[in-house]
Amino acid sequence: MMTEEILAKYKPQKDNLIQILHEIQDAHHQQYLPEEELIKIAKYLNMSMSSIYGVTSYYTMFSTKPRGKYIIRLCESPICDMLGSDKIAIKLKEILKINFNETTSDGLFTLESSECLGLCGNKPSMMINQRTYTGLNEDIIELIINDLRNE
Amino acid sequence: MKKETRIALKNLGKINPENIDDYLFHGGYQAIAVALEMQPITIIEEIEKSGLRGRGGAGFPTGIKNRFTSNSCNDCERFVVCNADEGEPGTFKDRIIMENDPHLLLEGMLISAYGIGASKGYIYIRAEYYLSIDRLKKAIESAYKRGYLGKNIMGSQFSFDLEIKLGAGSYLCGEELTLIESLEGKRGYPRIKPPFPAEKGLFGKPTLINNVETLSHFPSIITNGAEWYSNMGTEKSKGTKIFTISGNVNNPGFFEVEMGISLHSLIYDFAEGIKDGKTFKGALLGGAAGTFVDNSMLDAAMDYDKLKERGASLGSGAIIVFDENQSIYDLLYSILRFFKHESCGKCVPCRIGTAQLLSLMDKLKNEENKLEIINEILFQSEMMAKTSLCPLGQSPILPVRSAIKYFEKEIISQSIIVNNF
């Protein structure tokens, strides 16, 4: 969907900013907020670019850098941490050959971390885009990533 | 022994959450029908009499909050807001309610709005909860179609509009005044209290903010009466509570039981004991902004005030259990890292303090004067509790003080072990 179409769905009120940012980011194939789109939002809501930037930089789900087709959010809450999410993190970095907050060169995966995803059990959890994965171990991670690569 | 008492989860597994007819078949939207026959003030009185307390973590009496918001002005615009920004580590009760019974939450909001005279409501939900959002959207859509939302609900004079607003990844936005800032589309910076939301909340108007679980108790209280509800639980902690148990247990999950149950029963009867035949070392009650306990507290009753008397907290109902192999140093480190990451940076004590605490934990590993450093960690957290603007900076003292109380020797010995990262 075009930015103009998304904006037209909302009244030009500042309290709609976060909702608009979500929709525009989700609609972008690189799942991010390019500056030219932010300028359109600023005009529409009659806000300064610095106020918009204040919001995009505050919330961890917003990105002003291009991201991959799949955003991996590994839960690193104290619980998942205690249950071995550090091992999953190492494995993910090894398979994807990137660090956290980086994107693979083929543009497929971006690796991020998240605070508690509310999927607490006795194994670590993560999300990939809208899908949730729990009960993770190092072998499963490999299978999940391979599946997505072949999709 | 192992029997749940379900109120917020009463329809779990019995209904298709995406089908309003299923909800109606199981008595759905009958409580709002009953409520609409009552005077709004009677609703507030019923909630007060029921003894229901906020299930988000603070345990503030829900009825009093309703009354404050109702009394704050005459005939002015008011809002009801549902806090669905669940994010306290180890807590996933609200997600379970929203995914499995979204109409129950809607009905709870309707009752609460009718009680205080609000005609507009918002559900502020964290954006990572995709399934919850999807089901709530479908529920709202079908409720509008059937006349349970919108103008003249069920033929009455009462009208109510409801909207979902997304967060975007911020723990702090679960704090009620910060949540309001975020609802207004701003950075999640906390506001100075007072004024409280009941006087000046969303867009400067009186606003009633309740947690998902709290609101999910409203329909049953109205249908069955305050007395029915207050017969459950303990003297000052009435009704039921969903506990979410995670960590080194055989059966992690969520369990709705009457208040007053012992920690031992939750861990051994419901979560089926410690995994792999290991022994219980301790638990963290109430998430990161919660308190550590050891096995001397297994007999404790899960009751807001009784736990407080013993220096612990019930909080959101999260119980993170760990066995003999868990390093308390590592767990405390992880908690303090979490606070540092989530500190918004608005007030100095929290911005600097959360970073200081983490560097003191590093220092503990590298230096010899360990007792001195532990005292410094305690001192800094106390100072933060006294001077920070919002609950985030006021929270590290809870896990810090309790970890030191029960596990000081271990923290010291574990900080000697070389970390092979």
Q: Give the domain CATH number at B49.
A: 3.40.50.11540
Cα(A40)–Cα(B405) distance, rounded to whole angstroms?
A: 55
DSSP string of B89-113, one letter each residue: TT--HHHHHHHH-HHHHHHHHHHHH
Alpha carbon dihedral B107, B108, B111, B116, in 10-degree steps, equals -140
The CATH number linked to A89 is 3.40.30.10
Residue of A nearest to B202 (CA): A15
Mean pLDDT, residues A39-48: 97
Polymer length of chain A: 151
Position B417 scores a pLDDT of 58
Question: Does residue B6 sit within a domain?
Answer: no
DSSP H/E element including B33: helix B30-36
The minimal CB distance from B130 to the residues A13, A119, A130 is found for A130
Cα(B108)–Cα(B220) distance, rounded to whole angstroms?
A: 9
The minimal CB distance from A59 to the residues B170, B288, B421 is found for B170
Interchain proximity A127–B128, CB inside 8 Å:
yes
Based on the domain organization, do B176 and B55 belong to the same domain? yes
pTM of this structure: 0.96
Residue A135 confidence (pLDDT) above 70: yes
Question: Does residue B95 sit within a domain?
Answer: yes
Cα(B293)–Cα(B296) distance, rounded to whole angstroms?
A: 8
Cα(B78)–Cα(B69) distance, rounded to whole angstroms?
A: 8
DSSP H/E element including A78: helix A78-82
The minimal CB distance from B326 to the residues A82, A117, A122 is found for A82
CA atoms within 13 A on the CB side of A110: 19
Based on the domain organization, do B110 and B221 belong to the same domain? yes
Asked if B235 is an interface residue toward chain A (Cβ–Cβ < 8 A), one would say no
Q: In the predicted model, what is the mean pLDDT of chain A?
A: 96
Interchain proximity A118–B92, CB inside 8 Å:
yes
Number of domains into which chain A is organized: 2
Based on the domain organization, do A76 and A53 belong to the same domain? no
Q: How many Å from the N-terminal Cα to the C-terminal Cα in chain A?
A: 24
Contacts of B409 (CB under 8 A, 6+ apart): none
Asked if A26 is an interface residue toward chain B (Cβ–Cβ < 8 A), one would say no
Cβ(B280)–Cβ(B298) below 8 Å = yes
The minimal CB distance from A60 to the residues B169, B186, B275 is found for B169
Interchain proximity B168–A22, CB inside 8 Å:
yes
Interchain proximity B127–A61, CB inside 8 Å:
yes
Number of domains into which chain B is organized: 3
Position A55 scores a pLDDT of 97
DSSP H/E element including A8: helix A3-8
Cα(B273)–Cα(B277) distance, rounded to whole angstroms?
A: 9
Question: Does residue A77 sit within a domain?
Answer: yes
Cα(B317)–Cα(B300) distance, rounded to whole angstroms?
A: 14
| Low-confidence stretches of chain B (pLDDT beneath 70) | 1, 417-421
Position B421 scores a pLDDT of 47
| β-pair partners for B54 | none
Residue B373: domain span: 328-420
Question: Does residue A64 sit within a domain?
Answer: no
Asked if A122 is an interface residue toward chain B (Cβ–Cβ < 8 A), one would say yes
The CATH number linked to B386 is 1.20.1440.230
Residue A102: domain span: 70-149
Which is more confidently placed, A1 or B198? B198
**Chain B residues 305-364 with a CB less than 8 Å from chain A:** 318, 320, 322, 326, 330-331, 334-335, 338, 341-342, 344
* Residues B6-29: b if buried by 16+ CB within 10 A, e if exposed: bbbbbbbeebebeebebbeeeebb
- The residue behind tokens 């992690």 is B252
CA distance B37 to chain A (A): 35
Question: Does residue A137 sit within a domain?
Answer: yes
